[in-house]
Amino acid sequence: MKPKVYIAKPIPESVEKYIAEYCEYKIWDEKTPIPKEKLLEEIKDIDGLMLPKGEITNEFLDQAPKLKVVSNIAVGYDGFDIEAMKKHKVLGTHTPHVLDETVADTIFGLILMTARKLSECNHHVKKGHWNKMDSEDFFGKDVHDATLGIIGMGRIGEKVARRATQGFNMNVLYYNRSRRKDVEEKYNVRYSDMTNLLRESDFVLLMLPLTNSTFQFMGANEFKLMKTDAFFFNCSRGKTVDENALIEALKMKKISGAGLDVYEQEPINKDNPLLLMDNVVTLPHIGSATKKTRDDMAMRAAENLVAGVTGKTPPDVVKEMR
């Protein structure tokens, strides 16, 4: 008898066929997110669950006594209660690697949009305000030959460093829990402590996973150390930044602007002051959002799911469970 799995979002037909080879499955085929009540109903008799993030708590797992694996169609897994999953002997997996280059593309797009005020210029022209005269209001900051500080030299940070040094001749400083001499040698980047990185960088990029130690890693003290003409970018997790401190730094012109793809609350609250700031580019958490990458993520999640319910070790078990 094939193991039973539930897929909590629409997936490509090729991925669905792959799962069907090994599993009996049901799928939530609506574009809207699956209601919590419906998900709780579906997990009562399944061996595996594949979903786009989600909160996996002790109470949730109590409703799924046969569950062996939760396959996240994302890199982040801060919704996993790791201790509860260990207690219930449920593996958690995610989808690293397949989206690294795509997210790095988004990051550099965000840097260019923010530094060169491209979003503001686009709106200015579309509103019919362009009168053929250059306005100093739209003078931006050069990206080429500038200094980029990367906080968190993981897989994506490395891809950004390559683009920065090889494509834009930037000086790259980085701060990381452990020094990456391989990246230093490959891309001519320099390790730095946090204080120096914040003081020297024209652009500061935060790329840390969300953990107890990285919660609100960037706060008022960190923003005070940055140059007043520097820009801040966050494409990791919203809660790695003290958002109120960021808003205050922008209001008081302690920094020049920001580019964000993630927020403390998602979707972002419509009353959030960041939405009213012309010097802040706000993206809707779309770092990995290309068709190919999202299809690849779904297939990787399916491979993790199938491995977990057929007695094999999934390729991408989250590190806290290895």
Catalytic residue among 24, 30, 266, 320: 266
- Is 177 a residue of the active site? no
Which pLDDT does position 11 carry in this prediction? 97
Strand 147-151 with 203-206, pairing: parallel
pTM score: 0.92
Class of domain 4-98+291-321: alpha beta
Catalytic residue among 94, 163, 180, 237: 237
Classify residue 302 by burial, with Cβ atoms within 10 Å: 0-12, 13-18, 19+. Answer: buried
Q: Is 75 left (phi over 0), alpha (psi -120 to 50) or beta?
A: alpha
Which pLDDT does position 135 carry in this prediction? 78
Residues 6+ apart with CB under 8 A from 270: none
Stretches where the chain sits below pLDDT 50 are none
Q: Where in the chain is the domain with CATH 3.40.50.720?
A: 4-98+291-321, 100-282
- d(Cα 308, Cα 126) in Å, to the nearest integer? 51
Pick among 3.40.50.720, 1.10.3470.10, 3.40.1390.20, 3.10.450.50: CATH of 100-282: 3.40.50.720
- Is 124 a residue of the active site? no
- Is 94 a residue of the active site? no
